Each structure stands twice: as C-alpha cells, then as structure tokens.
Structure 1
C-alpha cells in the first residue's frame, strides 16, 4: 500500500495529518535527515523501539519517510535504513478539508548531506 501511494503521489491529507499528529513523529522526521535505522532513531530520540517502529510505519505510509535500503547492524543483522522525504510541510486549513504542500528533498541534497556526515 505505502509504495503505490508514494509512487503515485496520492497520499491523502488525512493520512499525513494523522502521521504528523502521533507522538514522536516530528522528532523521527527531524532525526532522519540522514539515513538511520529504527534502532538508531530509537536511541537518538530515547523512545521504545516498538513505538519507533509504529511511528516509522505511519510515516512511510504517509510518504514522509522512505526506506533507503538495508545495512548490517552491529549484531550482524540486516536492518532497514530510513530517511525523510521532505524538508518542509505546510498545512492549509482555509478550505473545508485540510490540505498540505511540501518541499521534497532532492537526491542531490541527500548526497551532499551524506558526504558532510562522513
């Protein structure tokens, strides 16, 4: 479901608002400016790993976070790596239903930020 919604850019504003309204979602998005595993996000934000996984799933379904691939953890397990898909979001409440616009992250910005983190 989340991949087809993301590819077609048909994410419902209610899904986005719901994901953003969940506790810790904003913190996860802020921390996911560079690729991070759920474990790293959980430790950075100091939240339980189960909660972190639930928020990640909501954010991915809303198209606000994406899985960039997999890497080996310190324990030798393959883990998903996540990064936010936007830098800004604007919510408009002036119509009958809320709408939103977002400033998507470019691949060039992702590569530049990755190089700065190394």
Structure 2
C-alpha cells in the first residue's frame, strides 16, 4: 500500500513539484522515468524532447530533488551517460476553496545508489 505524504504549504519541495507539473517536458520526463532509469539520450529519442531542453529539464529536476542519478552506462565508443529515475511514483494535487494540497508517493523501488 502506498504511503502518502502531505507537503507543507511553505515547502520549497512542494513549490518545485508544482513548477515541474506546470511544464510539459518536465511532466514527460518524470513520467517516463518512474518505472526504470533512463538516460537523457533515451528521453530525447523516446519522448520527442529536444536535446538541449532535455538536458536543461533533467538538471532542474535533479537539483530540485525530483530525479535521482541511479547509475551510468558507458557506450562502445567510450561515452558515459548517467541514468535518471523519478523520486516520486505519484503526485496528487487537490485544489479547493482557499486550499492547494500536494500529496506524494515516494518511488520506493528505487534501490540504493552511490550518487544519493
């Protein structure tokens, strides 16, 4: 069963979540990385996100603690790519009369990493 966490109204993490949800590319990246880690190259190819936008959004999401680096891969030609996974499995936003509540469910099946 999922453990819901209600975020404080003055929480910067809450504000970062709302900002990410308001951006189509950020929503796409978060959704695409829930189930398994993906590289920025995977995001570009499979989600049709422009390369510079993908790198910019991934960096923002990582800085705002919405994505985690879970590992890296090295291609045959020696290029190294980090793999990113969403820290959140679900986000619930409840908007009502004079209220805006944000509830989250952590992505618990992330395992452990030396990067976080």
Q: Would the TM-score normalized by the shorter structure come out above 0.5? A: yes
* Cα RMSD for the two superposed structures: 2.1
Would the aligned equivalents of 2:92 and 2:102 in 1 still touch at CA under 8 Å?
yes
- Describe the shift of the 1:36–1:48 C-alpha distance in structure 2 as closer, same or farther (beyond 3 A): same
What runs of 5+ residues in structure 2 fail to find an aligned partner?
1-10, 112-116
What is the aligned counterpart of 1:70 among 72, 85, 91? 72
Instruction: State the partner residue of 2:81.
Output: 79
Q: Secondary structure at the match of 1:63?
A: coil
In the TM superposition, what whole-angstrom CA distance separates every residue of 1:1-31 from its partner, at most 9, and x where no partner exists? xxxxxxxxx6432221112211212211221
How many residue pairs are counted as aligned between the two chains?
100
Query: Whose RCO is larger (CA < 8 A, sep 6+)?
Result: 2
Determine which structure has the larger strand proportion and give its number: 2
Q: Which runs of 4+ in 1 moved over 4 A?
A: none
TM-score, scaled to structure 2:
0.72
What runs of 5+ residues in structure 1 fail to find an aligned partner?
1-9, 112-118
- Describe the shift of the 1:92–1:43 C-alpha distance in structure 2 as closer, same or farther (beyond 3 A): same
Would the aligned equivalents of 2:20 and 2:27 in 1 still touch at CA under 8 Å?
no
- Describe the shift of the 1:101–1:69 C-alpha distance in structure 2 as closer, same or farther (beyond 3 A): same
Determine which structure has the larger helix proportion and give its number: 1
- Describe the shift of the 1:44–1:18 C-alpha distance in structure 2 as closer, same or farther (beyond 3 A): same
Instruction: State the partner residue of 1:21.
Output: 22
TM-score, scaled to structure 1:
0.71
In the TM superposition, what whole-angstrom CA distance separates every residue of 1:12-61 from its partner, at most 9, and x where no partner exists? 32221112211212211221121111111111101211100111122223
